[in-house]
Structure formats: C-alpha cells, structure tokens
Amino acid sequence: MQVTETLSDGLKRGFTVTVPAQEIESKRSARLKEVGQSMKLPGFRPGKVPLSIVKQRFGTEVQGEILEQVVGDATRKLLDERGLRPAMQPKVDIVSGGEPDSKSDLEFKVEFEVLPEIPVPDLSSLSLTRLKSAVNAETVDKALKEIAGRQREFETITEDRPAAKGDVLTVDFVGKIDGVAFDGGSADDVNVEIGGAGFIPGFAEQLEGMKAGDEKVITVTFPADYQAENLAGKEATFDIKGKALKRPVEVKIDDELAKKLGFEGLDQVRELITKQVEQEYEQLSRLRLKRDLLDQLAEKTAFEAPPGMVDAEFAQIWNRIEEDRKAGRLDDEDKDKDEETLRADYRKIAERRVKLGLLLAEIGRVNNITVTQDEMLQAIRAEAMRYPGQEQAVFEFFGKNPQAADSLRGPIFENKVIDYIVELAKVEDKEVTPEELAEMPEATV
C-alpha cells in the first residue's frame, strides 16, 4: 500500500492510503468462493453454485465486508509503522475504488488526533493526607434508634381527640391536578405520622387536627426536582378521609429486639453496625484521598488535551446540565450564570477530566497495570446480582457488548492505578471527627 501524509497540525494527523485493486479483488474472490461453498440453491449441488450467481446475491455484502477488513488492516499497519497512538477512532472516507467490481485501486482518507506526549510526574513527590475517623458509641446508638423506630408498632387511640404531632393517622386519599385524579396519587389505609417525613412537603403537616371519620381537602406543591417529571413543580389537591388515630409504641433496645431481627443478642447488632459504619468511613476516606491526589495530579498535566476527546466529554457533561436545568436541579452557584459562562466553566472541567484520564492511563500503561479476567468476572457477577432471576442474561449482555464491558473495566483500572500511586506517595494519616470526614469538598472531576 502507498501512504501520503496530508495533515500534520498539532495533534491532528491526516493520510491518504492507496491499496492496489488486485489485492482487493483477490480478497473479494476468495470470500465469494467461501460463501459459495456453504450456499444451497435448488438445482445445484452443495459448493457448485456458479460464482456469477454468488456474486449477484452476495456481491454488495461481501464488498462491504472486504472494504471494512482492508481499511482496518491498512489503518492499523499505518499506525504501527509510524508509531502513532490515536486518541479516538480514526475517521475514514473512501475516495475511490470502493464500488463492487471496481477495477481501480482503493483510495481512502484517514484523519485522527494522536495522543500527546504524556510525561509521568515523580509520584513519590506527592504528599497526601488520609483522613480517618473512629466509630463512636453515639453513632451506633443513633443507628440502633433508627432500627428500633422501623420496628415500632402502633396502638389505637380510643379517646375522641384530634391528631397531634407524633400521632399516626390512618387515611385514604385521592390526589388530583386541575380536578382530575392522576396515576399513583391515590391509596387506602396509609399511615401518616403527623409532622413526620416521607411525604410531599406540607402533606403530613396539614393532617394535624383531623379525627377519625373527618374528611378534608389539602393543597400541596410537588418539589421541582420530584422524581416523576409529570408532577414536578405542580400544585395538587388531595381528598383526605381520616379512618383511625394511633400512637407509636416505644420499642426497647435490648436483646429481645436483636432476636426479633434474627441476631443472638444486642452486642451482635452493635458489632454489625460498627463494621458497616467503618466501611462507610473507609469509603469516605478513600474518596477524600482520591480527590486530593487528583487535584495534585491536575497541576502536573502540562500537555495538550486532544480537542476531539474534550468535545466528546463536554457533550456528555452538557447534556446532563441541560437535563438538570429543565428539571430545576441546577446547583445554586450555577443558577444565575448565563449559558456562555456555564459552557466555559464546564469545558474547563471536561478538559481537566480528559487530561487526568490520559495521565492515569499512561501511568497504568508504563507500569503494566491491567484488569485481569477474574476481576472482570467478579465485576460482572456483582452487576448480575442486581437483577435477581436475570443473572444469565446479564452475563450474556456483557459478553456480546464490549463497550458495556469497558464501562466496568474503566473504574477497576482507575482504582488500581490510584492504589499504585498512593503506595508511592507520601501519605500522612489524620484523625478527624465523623462530621469533618463527611464534609466533602466540591467535586471537580
């Protein structure tokens, strides 16, 4: 094949590639014969169908297959011979010789952006602080109270009095918008704690003062970020019918409660809670350490990010921003910004993400960090467990969709590279309170 360089501008490269017609014809003929060997047609013995008929039926399909193969092979050879690493999938345009039965040489153009030279900084020079927090008795006691609260029972209030805060009113309700009942807005025998959480803001509060047998119409407004988009931000009325008034019965936090939950005693429950909270603290600690690490690495990314990769990353970010803006979920600091300012800010974030991604990938590459088959299998198995009864379908999905598998491989690879860097960096442990550990800094990546 013949290769002519047509573009060399920064990270952009362009080439015109010519593949001799006889090479295309040889591959095309061989493939048509192969198809003919397995082709069954009335009046012909297997493998004896004339090549002209095979070409008539499958010529276009085979031509496309051969072109894809030849262009792919030629492009890979070009990249290998010139030591080029494309940042994204090369763009290919057929110039001539791509038609079925063409006698002309195949000529195509290929353009792409190459990865820049990515210098790996001295990782041992990084100084990181790993925040740690111990699980205290107050945290465990609070968790126990929440567990006990979920196990509480209710007793009927026999005295004739209105519902007060802390009481539980059993109600039937019908939700309406503009006088028309909406899907999912009606229910019977629902326990509503007066002044409690779990309902639309203003719903439980307006039931205070009702008695069993009372009927009332209340008006509430769904939050702007309500999960059902057809209801978000809308005003609705609810026809309420009180049916029974109850009070919660205090649940003692003791061994009996533990046994009710399936444990031998309260100490076993405390031990489990402590381990779970420790895991949460470890995750928070790792997340804080990772952000600290990435912030320091970002200052050392002194190379140009491929514009195409930045464009692709920005497009993903901007789609989410537009969705959040339509749903009224923009962060407070973004709400008053004009679109031009928002675009500029998030393009900087996109560029930072691309640079950090490339740097982490390069650190992994030069240090032979890879994701093993066992690690992938474990990740797919964990994903499959989220879909009980469909585990086999999940395994088949990832087996047939390499891009989906890459979505699992990426985070595993990144975590392994982060662990490698942390091992080389200077890390100082610092004890903090649980509240300080939970005070997450603003995310930039």
Domain ranges within the chain, ordered by starting residue? 2-113, 154-248, 258-438
CATH architecture type of domain 258-438: Orthogonal Bundle (1.10)
Whole-number pLDDT of residue 154:
84
**What is the dotted CATH code of the domain comprising 2-113?**
3.30.70.1050
Give the orientation angle of helix 402-424 with respect to helix 339-366, to 10 degrees.
70
- pLDDT of 158: 87
- Contact in structure between 96 and 104 (CB atoms under 8 Å): yes
Residue 245 has pLDDT above 60, yes or no: yes
Of all helices (H) and strands (E), which one includes residue 365?
Answer: helix 339-366
Q: Where are the beta strands (DSSP E) in 140-204?
A: 153-156, 168-177, 180-193
CATH no. for 154-248? 3.10.50.40
pLDDT at 441: 62
Distances (CA, A) of 196 to 132, 166, 205, 239: 34, 7, 8, 19
Quote the percentage of the chain above a pLDDT of 90: 71
Q: What's the whole-model pTM score?
A: 0.75
Question: Dihedral of CA 51/55/61/67: which sign?
Answer: positive
Q: In whole angstroms, give the CA distance from residue 53 to residue 43.
A: 13
Number of residues written out for the chain: 445
pLDDT interval class at 440 (50, 70, 90): low
Of 433 and 229, the one with more pLDDT: 433
Least confident of 91-100, 203-212, 376-385, 415-424: 91-100
